[in-house]
Amino acid sequence: MFLYDQLQFLMHISEINIYPIKSLKGISVETATVEERGLRHDRRWMLTDADGMFMTQREFPRMATMSVWFEDADGLGVAADAFGDVFVPFVPDSEKRQQVTIWDSVCEGRVYGAALNEWFSDVLGTNCQLVYMPDDSRRNVSERYNKHDDVVSFADGYPLLVIGEASLDDLNERILGTDGSVRAPADMSVRTPLAMNRFRPNIVVAGSEAYAEDHWSQIRVGEATFRATKPCERCVITTVDQATGEFDGKDPLKTLAAYRRAKDVIPDLYESIGMNGNAVLFGQNLIGETFGSTIAVGDDIQLID
């Protein structure tokens, strides 16, 4: 019992990241406010095609290189190499509303004006538009995990994602072949460890054991509590080098598939939650349960259940 309590005391937040515009670069912050859709400003904006279908690094890996920052209290700055930068006001400059689609869910978004959309279209080389999720647009999480009319922003499925530093360290050891468990190809000798931004977590945890987050049910950070849903299924975005905006081989998916498939990680659970047994898992999805609280880098993380 003493060791368990000691491990809890050692766990703390080492990074907080928000991603205002889905699939563009994130912003590392020292503090963040927990809202019902996730962390404040996280994935409240999104690029879509003219029909409202969401766009991500899966099809447009260059999105990874587009920087985002808080310009002032009224909006975001966005920059792209060779295209300069633009200002995105928090309140769209158009009253147009449109149904937008993220995977199998549909909700309403407010569409920005032509000038801003032309800039994004030029950067990505395809016609697109920027949309914002207004407060009156409700997009619920999966019914399986929806306990309190839980909603989510334009994130793929859940409000937050947490990953432990030790989990990434273990993965990198396997990719680079330093622990002997995964055989690395000859050209891996010149590679550097994968950065955490490949996985786009909101909360990064220091002081936990590798993959401990797989088994969390509920955690507390200060006055904020979060409940876990299920380990996060990973996709091809993790193979995009976030610095260059280019696909960068088969890892980490290839290595993760050797030991992190759903049928290996949660063998007694994956079928009952409708997950493919070959899904590759890394990180844990979270839903906030208390809103208005602030979390900060350095805050201790306590396991409630």
Alpha helix (H) residue ranges in 125-267 = 165-176, 253-257, 262-265
Q: Identify the pLDDT of residue 72.
A: 86
Q: Identify the pLDDT of residue 192.
A: 86
Strand locations in the chain (E): 12-18, 27-29, 31-35, 38-39, 45-48, 67-72, 75-80, 84-89, 97-102, 105-111, 129-132, 160-164, 203-206, 218-221, 224-233, 240-241, 246-247, 281-288, 294-296, 302-303
Q: Compute the distance between CA of residue 193 and CA of residue 196 in angstroms, rounded to an integer.
A: 9
Along the chain (305 residues), what's the average pLDDT of each consecutive run of 10 residues? 49 98 98 98 98 98 98 95 97 95 97 98 98 97 94 98 98 84 46 93 98 97 96 98 96 98 96 96 98 97 91
Enter the tokens of residue 207.
């002081």
**Which CB contacts under 8 angstroms, 24+ apart, belong to 246-254?**
246/61, 247/61, 251/175, 251/194, 252/171, 252/175, 252/194, 252/198, 252/282, 253/280
What is the layout of strands, in order, in the sheet containing 67-72? Answer: 67-72, 75-80, 84-89
Q: Identify the pLDDT of residue 2.
A: 37
Residue 127: DSSP 8-state: -
pTM to 2 decimal places: 0.93
Q: How far is CA 98 from CA 52, 104, 129, in A?
A: 7, 16, 11
Q: Identify the pLDDT of residue 300.
A: 97
Q: Identify the pLDDT of residue 95.
A: 94
Q: Identify the pLDDT of residue 9.
A: 54
224, 293 contact by CB (below 8 A)? yes
